[in-house]
Amino acid sequence: MKATFGAGCFWHVEDLFRKTRGVKSTQVGYIGGKLANPTYDEVCTDKTGHAEAVQVEYDPSEISYDELLQVFWNNHDPTSLNRQGPDIGIQYRSAIFFYNDEQKEIAQKSKDDLEKSGKLQKSIATEIVPAPQFYKAEEYHQKYFQKHGLS
């Protein structure tokens, strides 16, 4: 099964999911913009509309989509609009890109439950949208933390 999340700079997000039980593979890339085959430099202009994202291949017999969502929610600030930490721009937005109605429903329920929980001081800015074309980022971005001894 496949899941795709945007939660700020994709290096950190990829590393978290790569280390998650049940995740079989990860790749970082760009999704949700208006330019085909964007490059990192183009996405960084904040003009293509893409989000930096991680695409996760997972085994649903080992981890549920809801459990993946918990990794997502717990490892970034979903109340921050187009920003995570020092990274500012639409490419750093919080987003869940769903591939079917079941993922959409689970994601929306998860978001609603978190919103109602009172754990957050502000409203959730995370968008939940259909997954358009995912463009794999340049090879030097793949498993960046692992390649540079940061993992």
pLDDT tens per residue across span 10-27: 999 999 999 999 999 999
Helix locations, 1-151, DSSP H: 10-18, 40-43, 65-74, 101-117, 144-147
- Average pLDDT for 19-38: 98
- Annotated catalytic residue within 9, 114, 131, 137: 9
Domain definitions of the chain by residue range: 2-147
Residue 132 CB coordination number (10 Å) = 13
- pTM for this prediction: 0.97
Instruction: Give yes or no for residue 115 having a pLDDT over 90.
Output: yes
Local structure of 61: helix, strand or coil: coil
Strand ranges, E, within the chain: 2-7, 23-31, 51-58, 83-84, 87-88, 94-98, 127-130, 134-136
Instruction: Please report the pLDDT score of residue 151 as a whole number.
Output: 84
> What CATH topology corresponds to 2-147?
Peptide Methionine Sulfoxide Reductase; Chain A (3.30.1060)
**Is 9 annotated in the active site?**
yes
Task: Return the structure tokens found at 99.
Answer: 């591939």
Average pLDDT over residues 120-134: 97
Structure confidence at residue 112 (pLDDT): 98
